[in-house]
Structure 1
């Protein structure tokens, strides 16, 4: 039985779609290991030219906010759709009762284009973003690292800290830093029970930079970067994994890296035209998925300074959306809604 026939056995394609709330998505029981596997598979597919994914476009209604339209099609997975994702850091002060990030996915039938599901993608975004960082860490960092640093202690920071030991199992200390002390306290409270390494509340970003072999960052992306980490604090042998363009480190850090990767060169070239890289992009060594796929070597020396800049790709969202959709149909989770009604 074909994939489409399996769907038709559970859903009347063209007449109805499946609505999945955030709780419905969680109830499908997709595991972190599944997310890691699917994320790496999607990154490799994209960098191997086995996926169709234009660079995401966006709107910016508030200062340093974004709303991105992210379509993707993975032929081998028979999966296509689009994510509409937003991040509004201004919500922290203007609407503190509301989250800063929210995302939705329309998942489509790859043969007809008709919608199959409308699902909340906030959790998918929350876990696939650190999963991308973990894929980069897996291939670019020293696997025996005992120290890890995290800039940004919001949703993404907490998810990174909870998941990082999947690829760095020998960690002893995790240093965290955020401009808001309450965010650091919340991260430690929520994450320490889930990790073996001791989480340390750093007194400054300098402490994180000087104490950590591998550092991830997930702070708001500023249209014009205001770096918080000085080049002199960064040393040879470190691995810097960013989700936030060039928001964290002084430009010299990126330019002096021995290896500099991005998830999608097309995406970052477009962001450069938007002004996100006012000092220009460094020489791009490879896409991160090309390293994961074995097309380019990763770390070859313990002394290399490596920076991996990944802002997230729709292929990662859509491949996970397919797994969520399939599990929801199998477990009969969600609400079936009519696509249209004939007028009387």
Structure 2
């Protein structure tokens, strides 16, 4: 049986946000119900190269389909300047749960961007005000693009404020979306005042102040993916209805990891998980809610769910490069 090799363009072509968002929601639900296995993310630190590798395996059963896979991903901040390579690369191995046959090997970088945007959209759908029409994004890197594409699936976004120190990145973002949305460059404070805010930066000191955030803003805290990273002022987290994707990951490497380790936050400050909300165990936004925050670290179940969508459509569309990896034919 052939294994399908799918590059970044193949992944992008076969993963529409209209299907990814509900697939990621199903993955959160399966995890909450106990119908998923997701061992802790493991890290291989490489201080010699100022980087690390991370392995992320998972299996999930939604009731309609099941899927398994593992993503091997890295963060090497020096890559762009030294080697003209992306900071984050990745490879996803998508396997048949019944036979263990590797059905596909696909670009994990594109997959990560897409599923991260979709996760923010799921949280936005459950936690943002129903009539949210403005989106602020802090950080105009690759993740910013899928934040807008995904969140606009669940809210009628009209205005977008993009904030970044790199003016060229901001200009590129505006060029990409200027024909679809009212997009403008702005300060962090202007972005934070929007109905929805997504932060997608690698900073280790908070850059979003409490006084800048709207009283009913929903915040998707995306950037923190390792211990020590921290984008939001602690007062934002303390004042918000705080929702996490996974307890172990968020306390170790999510937006809450720094205030958690310092004793500023504890269990009582966490409202619940996104899985509890999508399964109806806890309500999402209710009428008297003010500020809400979703701490998204990125779960392996999201990668597997996204890979499932990509593989099914790639098979239908004849995309990719089939090859005999097992050598059994």
Superposition TM-score tier, normalisation by shorter sequence? 0.7 to 0.9
2:291 alignment counterpart: 305
Q: Structure 2 CA distance, aligned partners of 1:65 and 1:153?
A: 22
Alpha-carbon distance, 1:341 to partner: 5.1
> What is the correspondence of 1:47-86 to structure 2 with a 5 Å cutoff?
47-61=32-46, 65-75=51-61, 76=63, 77-86=65-74
- Number of matched pairs: 316
Displacement after TM superposition at 1:25 (Å)? 2.8
Question: CA–CA distance in 2 between the matches of 1:60 and 1:181?
Answer: 32
Task: Kindly provide the CA deviation profile for residues 230-270 of structure 1, in whole angstroms up to 9, marking residues without a partner as x.
Answer: 2232342221111123621111211222x111111122234
Q: TM-score, normalised by structure 2?
A: 0.87
In structure 2, relative to structure 1, the CA distance for the partners of 1:66 and 1:153 (3 Å cut) is farther
Shift of 1:289: 2.1
Q: Provide the rounded CA distance (Å) in 1 between the counterparts of 2:145 and 2:319.
A: 27
CA distance in 2, matches of 1:295, 1:64: 41
2:177 maps to what in 1?
Answer: 191
User: Residue in 1 aligned with 2:85?
Assistant: 98
- On the 8 A contact 1:251/1:279 being kept in 2, the answer is no
Quote the Cα distance in structure 2 between the aligned partners of 1:142 and 1:252.
21
Asked if 1:208 is matched to 2:191, the reply is yes
Residue 65 of structure 1: how far off its partner (Å): 4.4
Matched residues in 1 for 2:294 and 2:166: separation? 26
> What SS class does the counterpart of residue 18 from structure 1 fall into?
strand
1:269 pairs, out of 231, 245, 251, with 251
Rounded to whole Å, the distance in 2 between the matches of 1:327 and 1:159 is 19
For residues 54-203 of structure 1, the aligned pairs below 5 Å read 54-61=39-46, 65-75=51-61, 76=63, 77-95=65-83, 97-169=84-156, 171-193=157-179, 195-196=180-181, 198-202=182-186
| Structure 2 residues without counterparts, runs of 5 or longer | none
- Aligned position for 1:251: 234
Distance 1:264 1:237 in 2: 24
Query: Larger Cα Rg: Structure 1 or Structure 2?
Result: 1
Cα distance per residue 1:282-312 (max 9 Å; x no partner): 4221111211221100111355211110111
Of 200, 208, 228, the residue aligned with 1:218 is 200
Offset from partner CA, 1:1-48 (integer Å, 9 cap, x none)? xxxxxxxxxxx2xxx422222233344x33210111111111111122
Secondary structure of 1:339's match?
coil
The aligned residue for residue 213 of structure 2 is 234
Q: Secondary structure at the match of 1:101?
A: coil
The answer as to 2:8 corresponding to 1:25 is no
Cα distance in 1 between the residues matched to 2:308 and 2:169: 33
Where does the alignment leave 5 or more consecutive residues of structure 1 unmatched?
1-11
Note closer, same or farther for the CA distance 1:214–1:337 as it changes in structure 2 (3 Å cut): same
Aligned CA RMSD, in angstroms, stands at 2.4
Normalising by the residue count of structure 1, what TM-score does the alignment of the two structures yield? 0.84
TM-aligned CA deviation for residue 335 of structure 1: 2.5
